[in-house]
Structure 1
Amino acid sequence: MTKHFPIKTLIDLAQNDVDAAAKQLGRAQRERGDVEAQLESLVRYRDEYHANFSASAQAGMPAGSWRNFQAFIDTLDAAIEQQRRLLATATSRVEAAKPEWQRQKQKLGSYEVLQARGEAEQARVVARREQRDADEHAAKMLRMRQQNLN
């Protein structure tokens, strides 16, 4: 008969904490991925725009168009720099979430070790009881046999 150890409740709570920490880490990683993809998109757009503008500027360009181009590139560069800062912040969130998840996993593992030790002790107690019962039964059978011989 399996006995419910009180530590099972702690294990369930710790598992909930691990799940919550894993969700938080996953959310932070997804957000970082989104920010990184957006940064890559901005850089790619800037490079393509610059290449297209440079190709068309080879034929000659009025000064006003050149100023507009430079202002737009400056705006893109500012957006890229802001996205890089967001990426650094998102990376920090991922790095902050990892130790919490690891700590929760370690706590759960500790409880599981304690549960395994308790179950092993319970199994030893049951085995000793069964051995004692078997020994008593064998001794009883031996006594009965001896009484029948007399």
Structure 2
Amino acid sequence: MAKHDPLDTVLKLAKEAEEQAGLQLKSAQLMLQKCQSQLEALRNYRLDYMKQMESHHGKNISASYYHQFHQFVRQVDEAITKQITSIQEADSQREHRQKYWQEMQQKRKAVELLLSHKADKAQQAELRREQKMTDEFASQLFYRQRTR
């Protein structure tokens, strides 16, 4: 039975951590996109409402309607400001998750490199062992031929 290398377990765990970090990054990217879409919708809504008010230009409108219009636009502007803050927070979270994913990726690659170096050393040791056996066999053959 082949001997189990503890680095194989470390590699498995590193791959799982990298995958988990990748999923978290994807989730953060989706959240950022959602926030950006909501901001775009709010801005479009505000623009449509402003166009609606512009269509009343030159017409008689009541002071209360005008007041309600401005109050509503102010509320939409506040929502836009809050959404911009949400986007900044979501982008910050995305950046954090991306850095973490990159760290996990580097750790996995480092373990893979260690395993590769270990395998290379083992292969070199095996080649030296085979060369030594070949040399011994050749020496014995030469010695036998000389002693005849």
TM-score (norm 2): 0.89
CA distance in 1 between counterparts of 2:4 and 2:143 reads 39
Counterpart mapping for 1:15-94 below 5 A: 15-94=15-94
Does residue 113 (structure 1) correspond to residue 93 (structure 2)? The answer is no
Identity level (%): 28
CA distance in 1, matches of 2:2, 2:126: 11
Contact 1:28 1:97 in 2 (8 A): yes
Give ranges in structure 2 of 5+ residues lacking alignment.
Answer: none
Contact 1:32 1:91 in 2 (8 A): yes
With 131-140 and 118-127 compared, the bigger mean Cα shift is at 131-140
Residue 39 of structure 1 aligns to which amino acid in structure 2? L
Whole-angstrom distance in 2 between the partners of 1:3 and 1:49: 72
2:136 counterpart of 1:131: no
Letter in 2 for 1:22: G
Partner of 1:56, secondary structure, is coil
Q: Cα distance, 1:141 vs. partner?
A: 3.2
**Structure 1: 5+ residue runs without aligned partners?**
none
The alpha-carbon distance between structure 1 residues 2 and 141, as it changes in their structure 2 partners (threshold 3 A), is farther
**8 Å contact kept, 1:11–1:108:** yes
Structure 1, 127-136 or 50-59: larger mean CA deviation:
50-59
Cα distance between partner residues in 1 of 2:58 and 2:8:
74
SS in structure 2 of the partner of residue 104 of structure 1: helix
With over 3 angstroms needed to count, the CA separation of the structure-2 counterparts of 1:69 and 1:146, relative to structure 1, is: same
- Give the distance between the partners of 1:2 and 1:138, measured in 2 at CA: 31
Alignment of 1:87-106 (within 5 A): 87-106=87-106
* Divergent runs of 4+, >2 A: 1-5, 56-60, 136-147
Task: Check whether the contact 1:15–1:108 (CA below 8 A) recurs between aligned residues.
Answer: yes
Residue 4 of structure 1: how far off its partner (Å): 4.0
Q: How many residues align?
A: 148
Deviation, structure 1 residue 142: 3.0
